[in-house]
Structure 1
């Protein structure tokens, strides 16, 4: 990772017209099997309003582990974890929660169970549907799950939505392209920072993690927070095997 100056992202705020600027972080945390202190420092330094987690703890005392990470990052658990087969949502106290739902996807023989962590939240006068996902390693199943993700967003009955996670596929792949046709690929819409590779954290060489937003949302900036103030290279390498994706979004009032 080359050295560069810190990059500032727009701060969270609510505008007089009811619109809201929020920060959304998507992060595969590898079941918190690495340096959890470094993980909490990275998340806390990004000051997110929403965190779309993949590979949250799913087994022994998983709720306690996820709650500890949320508390140490200055956040609270919104939904997900083992009940969504890994995806989870964390949020700041800015969020007013309307409802949550964890969705398990059909289980293909020989594959891992997958799911979505979903919620509807409000920031100021803006209402938002949110989905965290971790798609299959198998190409055909992954493509089907991409369609299920779009169907889930449509079924949530909210005009504006954010979805993100570990797609296990690069932007040129069919599932990534399918999502980018219906939604904004936030990194492609408003690139922030010089590098968009998210895996692996030790030697990044591919972009397989992304944040998407419906087209009524203004994407202010999106990228890997390599040089965000308070985020250090040693912490990024120690926290997990993925790099996070951070986006600043302006939500229109409902």
Structure 2
């Protein structure tokens, strides 16, 4: 009896019933594997940046990250000696176990250990999966697996209001990871018992190799643009639900487009159009949002062409190609963030994917549409959950009272003082403060270096009783936040002149009507590290120039300078009043949270503002301690 061949079995004919049971577990395994892979990759990078190599120069940080990542690139070595008869199962099971351990055992040491282990194990599992697809004549399932895995990740992030499973802590995080990991391991096990036994297919491994090579650039453009929730929110100006729906629509459009088998000349034209559409500044923001849908569809077609089985004489080395593609993903990611976001890389990366898809073979058509129904259901549920409010609270009506509680906090991108994820704890600290005005620094909206979460979206959901104002400082996805219980009149952001530190800084401001008159509230973040005193002095000068001795002003932030440093002396000499110092906290340290040894976080006010009280609460949910004060406007 001839072996059923998945690539030639559209649903609806007599062989569909035979084929679908074989395709479904493979699709499920691939889909869940990509979902876990996004978490694993982001966790690995985040633990290098914020834990193991925090505060080191970028070059050293990159070398440390590469040394860890390289353990995953050499996948053929563990496959040969540890993979057993079916490496996709053995490495998949280990990935599932390590995923649960990463969520269940957080800590200064264990968080990076398990994050590194999951990232490495995913890089071992991935080429084993491509090889299994090739041997089972199912390589056309590769791209649908990638698209559906990305769709599930976005649906999950939307359901968590901008957060993601790998950045959560607590019981629900453990249960969620256990369900996801268990489903992943079960799908791999099921796939091993379904369909025909694996056997070599002429040209199959060559297609898998080309596709694995192209996957690195493809994932880069997904994680930084097309399937980055925070990025799409900033481009579109929409909330979490609208941005997530746009991404999901584009991914499903890409999946639907896989039924088309365009010729190579057509793919050349489409690829060129995508490169043009991604050119920075070419399209207005409203049109750029909708352009994501056709861009996603074309790139999916190009990737499918790269994965197409080659001629009978073609040979391919899946493991070496996968390692090259994964290395490209790493290099592209670090080059991109070396410029704190470099949009010019998107058309360049799209061109790489298009080039990989210019093989003479047309992409194999995907027709197993029923297998996508569970993904559509999860997407709808995720979008629905994104609409569920945290509470029925609403911001207070204006104007604000004359007496106001102010709370300043550098939230360390959602990591605690030991650089383990602590977003829920940070939210708890903000809530406990009961402040009327909140000043936050180091707030990210989708940096893969910080786990890919959108903290602004989460804060807007978690604190419905506040207006949340985001001011981008370093690119579009990293900056400061102002939260106000009361209506805000005008608001905006300003950048400091770029100095020796070469790291963009600035401040976000808001004008808030109060019963005593208009209040100017500012949150700022000065340059960090020793050796940049001149930068901080310049930033003090620019901040004073913006303030212009206006009455009813409160300026808070992480100034990265001690009370005796020139930058702070300049602010005080310029007329600002150190509010905590008036209550005996002038020598109370705010950094680092676990063992404070210096004071670098402040709340200043104009001289006419009366200070009622001040506190420096003790918490380790960030690497900084917060600063709180109650002031009266006059």
TM-score (norm 2): 0.33
Q: Distance in 2 between matches of 1:26 and 1:54?
A: 8
Cα deviation, 1:16-69, whole Å, max 9, x if unaligned, reads xx9611011111011123301110110000011111111111544989422312
Cα 1:110–1:249, aligned 2, differ >3 Å: closer, same or farther? closer
User: What is the CA–CA distance in structure 1 between the aligned matches of 2:431 and 2:460, rounded to whole Å?
Assistant: 9
1:225 positional shift? 2.1
Q: Measure the CA separation in 1 of the matches of 2:507 and 2:478.
A: 8
Q: Tell me whether 1:143 sits opposite 2:537 in the alignment.
A: yes
Instruction: Write out aligned runs for 1:11-160 (5 A).
Output: 20-33=402-415, 34-60=421-447, 64-73=454-463, 74-82=465-473, 83=476, 86-92=479-485, 95-137=486-528, 138-154=532-548, 158-160=550-552
The residue aligned with 1:246 is: 628
Check conservation: 2:444, 2:478, Cα contact below 8 A: no
* Secondary structure, counterpart of 2:543 in structure 1: helix
Say if 1:36 and 1:63 are closer, same or farther in 2 by CA, change over 3 A. Answer: closer
Q: Distance in 2 between matches of 1:20 and 1:84?
A: 34
Match of 1:10 in 2: none
Pick from 186, 210, 215: which aligns with 2:579?
186
Size of the alignment, in residue pairs? 222
- The CA distance in 2 between the partners of 1:160 and 1:84, in whole Å, is 30
Aligned counterparts, 1:203-242, within 5 A: 203-226=595-618, 236-237=619-620, 239-242=621-624
Structure with greater strand percent: 1
3-state SS, counterpart of residue 432 of structure 2: helix
What is residue 285 of structure 2 aligned with on the other side? none
Distance in structure 2 (CA, Å) of the matches to 1:81 and 1:32: 17
**Structure 2: how far apart are the matches of 1:132 and 1:85?**
14
Contact persistence 2:445–2:455 (CA under 8 A): no
Larger Rg, first or second structure (1 or 2) = 2
Asked if 1 retains the 8 angstrom alpha-carbon contact of 2:519 and 2:553, the reply is yes
Q: SS at the partner of 2:598?
A: coil
Q: Partners of 2:488 and 2:501 in 1: how far apart?
A: 36
Q: Give the TM-score normalised by the residue count of structure 1.
A: 0.79
User: 2: CA distance between counterparts of 1:84 and 1:216?
Assistant: 36
Structure 1 pair 248–115 and aligned structure 2 pair: CA distance change class (3 A):
same
Which of 176, 194, 197 is the equivalent residue of 2:568?
A: 176
Q: CA 1:185–1:195 in structure 2 vs 1: closer, same or farther (change >3 Å)?
A: closer
CA distance in 2, matches of 1:102, 1:160: 19
Which of 555, 561, 564 is the matching residue for 1:163?
555
Higher RCO (CA < 8 A, seq sep 6+): 1
Task: Check conservation: 1:85, 1:113, Cα contact below 8 A.
Answer: no
Show structure 1 runs of 5+ residues with no match: 1-17, 227-235
> CA RMSD for the aligned pairs?
2.7
CA distance in 2, matches of 1:187, 1:55: 22
Task: Kindly indicate whether the alpha-carbon contact (under 8 Å) linking 2:409 and 2:626 is maintained by their aligned counterparts in 1.
Answer: yes
- In structure 2, runs of 5+ residues without a counterpart are 1-399, 416-420
Q: Which runs of 4+ in 1 moved over 6 A?
A: none
Deviation at 1:197, TM superposition (A): 1.1
Q: Deviations over 1:156-190 (max 9, x none)?
A: xx422111111111101111111122111001123
Is the Cα contact below 8 Å between 2:444 and 2:454 reproduced in 1? no
- The answer (yes or no) to whether the contact 1:163–1:213 under 8 Å persists in 2 is yes
Q: CA deviation at 1:212?
A: 0.1
